[in-house]
Amino acid sequence: MSARDVIVGRSRAAALFATVAAYCVPLGFILAPLALFLTYSFFSVDHGNIVFSPTIANYVRFFTDPVFQPIFWRTCLLCLSVAVLCVLFAYPVALFLTGLKGRWRHVVLVLLLVPLLMSYVIKIYAVRSILGGNGLLNRTLLALGIIHEPSMLFVFNLNAVLLTLTVLLIPFAILPIFLSLETIPKALRHASADLGASDLQTFLRVVLPLSLPGVASAMSFVFVLAIGDFLTPQMVGGQSGFTFGRIIYSQFGTAFNWPFGAALSVILAATVICAIALGSLAERRRTAR
Amino acid sequence: MAEPGVLLTLRSVTKSYGGTAILHGVDLDVRDGEFITILGPSGSGKTTILRLIGGFTAPAGGEIRLDGQDITGVPINRRPFNTVFQDYALFPHLTVEANVAYGLVVRGTPRAEVTKRVADALELVSLGPFGKRYPAQLSGGQRQRVALARAIVCRPRLILLDEPLAALDVALRHQMQVFLKSVQAEIRTTFLFVTHDQEEAIAMADRICVMNAGRIQQIGSPHEVYYRPSCEFVATFFGDNNLIPGMLGPTSGHRRSIETSLGTLLCSIKGQPALAEAPVGSRAFATCRPEAITIGPASGAGAAENRIAATIDQVAFGGASTMAFAKAAKDPSIALRASLQSRPEGSAVSAGDAVTLSFRAEDCRLVPA
């Protein structure tokens, strides 16, 4: 064996190792916990001790107990509203971004993405202080004479969760919409104008339909991030802002019922997978043509 | 105001991008119902003219008139012109029918009329059965025809075609040339066709406008532009040509002589009055197409006015015709070419032959240097 063969052999072994590692890391850190969850969801708890014998009691409880399903559906509705609101706010911003030229586009894009670099908890506190009794929102409304005493409508309830999640997740909606707007060839807008369409007609008939794949992925993006979030509802939701994420959190924490928490997590994961599948389905149906 | 028969007029139109002048004062009359081709190499400003007429961009100076009315400031969506784009620019999310209907729908045409006109337009471009398909499901030639139908259906005063055949392969391109020409003859709408392909221009146009470096070099019928080039650029841009430099001699009637290093040549100036006025001694070229040159034996006599002794350098078979490359005996720096009809038994001349190249004064034209 020559020196060259040794080197080649060694680099080949290194490559093999890298490949194995590349597949093993996600396998170990993502799939294994998921599998563990799935397994735990079929166990039960007796006086604080986990009973390791398979049962579907946890799932039966979710589907029969009158407490959980309403919260589950309410959370889905909440996150759907967050997704819709985010898209409504993000679309004009993305449209504005595509209209910018050269350096300004990068500057604005970076400014929009800066919040993503900040700590999530700090951002929640910031939004909470805006929405609170002495917050910017209340003081503005008071100054404008719309209300006469500070309103508590915006904190420690579902409204607060809705508003906070929307504010925090808008950047995630801007990017996919911006990217899909960017892929629309300029020639199509020219062709539309050439055929006699006004700017508004061009937007409604060409730009908007062609950007719908981006809207679909933005919505599924935001929905998934919102439904998995337990921190925001915990911090701004108060007593009435109870969401599915908080229930799961309480099962692992206060209730110390890991198997039931695992079962609820599996249901949440299934919901997330459905949302992603729906989003990419809508995306593919549009782009297939 | 408007001259009879003139649809569109460009007067001293200029355009520049980022300080670089693209068009230097273009004057052009587009006649109603004609098929006019703007021909030029890339960067000559031909597409800029189309974009200015279409309203995609505004001129820096000059004006554009439609029926004598200034339309320079009219926005793109209010001009009665439609464009067939180079890359088709079909709407990918709409069916063929909806693509064709687009221009009518945005103008609020009643539905029944839209349906009928779309069906007629698709029939005209022989795409009747393809209405329900999406652009991605069509071939390049079919998409091209959808783009054409989408423009025709709006019944514009003028259809602008921006190198629409550039993306097609040769066979399909020839087919589409014939097709476009027949459609234009049928609907009698004015077509303004931009291309860089001389053969395409010659095959399709009623008139050709040759452009170079932001200026119009010559406007005329394909025959005129081919046989009576007005400048050196046009003379060399179209196909093969012989250019012999020299100095102008005296004029006699429709003929004028030119002194060249190969002797005095006699050229026709029929229909080119400006050339009769040019002072004696000014520099010019005598031009003669290869197919007008006859190759004869070195000692032979003939009726043609111009005779040049030469040696055959090379003979190249090119299908229907064979091209003979020759060097003039008096000045070997001047290369001449003559085309012969190809024959199955092979060419009558071969490399090294001493010959006489002869051509009539009628086949020889003068071009100012």
Measured in angstroms, the CA of A187 and the nearest CA of chain B are apart by 6
Quick check: B61 and B7 in contact, CB under 8 A? Answer: no
Q: Taking CA atoms, what residue in B is nearest to A200?
A: B106
Cα→Cα distances A3→A7, A9, A10, Å: 6, 10, 11
Cβ pair A145, A59 in contact under 8 A: no
Question: Which band of pLDDT confidence, cut at 50, 70 and 90, is reported for residue B1?
Answer: very low
Element (H, E) at A10: helix A3-26
Query: Which residues from B are below 8 Å from A289, CB to CB?
Result: 92-93, 134-136
B121-127 contacts, C-beta under 8 A, 24 or more apart: B121/B149, B121/B150, B121/B152, B121/B153, B122/B96, B122/B97, B122/B149, B124/B149, B124/B152, B124/B183, B124/B186, B124/B187, B125/B149, B125/B152, B125/B183, B127/B96
**β-bridge mates for residue B285, sequence order:** B245, B367
Closest Cα in chain A to B54 = A194
Q: What is the pLDDT of residue A3?
A: 59
Q: What is the CA radius of gyration of chain A?
A: 24
**Which residues, listed in sequence order, are joined to residue B64 by a DSSP beta bridge?**
B10
Report the pLDDT value the prediction gives residue A37, as an integer from 0 to 100. 87
Buried b (16+ CB within 10 A) or exposed e, A21-30: eeeeeeeeee
Taking the CA of residue A224 and the nearest CA in chain B, the distance in Å comes to: 28
Confidence at B211, pLDDT banded by 50, 70, 90: very high
Q: State the DSSP code for A204.
A: I
Question: What is d(CA A18, CA A13) in angstroms, rounded to the nearest whole number?
Answer: 9
Share of chain B above pLDDT 70, in %: 98
pTM (2 d.p.): 0.81
Locus of tokens 């808008």: A170
Encoding tokens for residue B168?
A: 């097609």
Separation in Å, CA of B140 to nearest CA in chain A = 15
Phi, psi (deg, nearest 5) at residue B156: -75, 165
- Nearest residue to B272 via CA among B303, B242, B235: B235
Determine the residue of chain A that is closest to B152 in CA distance. Answer: A195
What φ, ψ does residue B29 adopt, rounded to 5°?
-110, 125
**Per-residue pLDDT, A149:** 83
**In chain A, which residue's Cα lies nearest the Cα of B106?**
A197
Are B105 and B114 a contacting pair, CB within 8 Å?
Answer: yes
Residue A248 CA, chain-centre distance (Å), reads: 17
Cβ separation A198–B106 shorter than 8 A: yes
Decide if A191 and B83 are in contact by the 8 Å CB cutoff: yes
Q: How far is B88 from chain A (nearest CA, A)?
A: 9
A289 to B154: CB separation less than 8 angstroms, yes or no: no
pLDDT score for B343: 84
Q: CA–CA separation, B299 vs B356, rounded Å? A: 8
For chain B, the average pLDDT equals 89
**CB of A214 closer than 8 Å to CB of A286:** no
pLDDT tens sequence for chain A (289 residues): 555 666 666 778 888 888 888 888 888 888 888 888 899 999 988 887 888 888 899 999 999 988 899 999 999 999 999 999 999 999 999 999 998 888 888 899 889 888 888 888 899 988 888 888 788 888 888 888 888 888 877 778 888 899 999 999 999 999 999 999 999 999 999 999 999 999 999 999 999 999 999 999 999 999 999 998 888 988 888 888 888 999 999 888 888 888 999 999 999 999 999 999 988 888 777 655 4
Q: How far is it, in rounded angstroms, from Cα A199 to Cα B259?
A: 63
Between chains, do A194 and B78 touch, taking CB under 8 Å as contact? no
Cβ contact, residue pair B91, A206, below 8 Å: yes
Contacts of A118 (CB under 8 A, 6+ apart): none
Q: Please give the pLDDT value at position B3.
A: 63
| Nearest chain B Cα distance for residue A151, angstroms | 47
Of B89, B102, B134, nearest to A190 by CB-CB distance is: B89
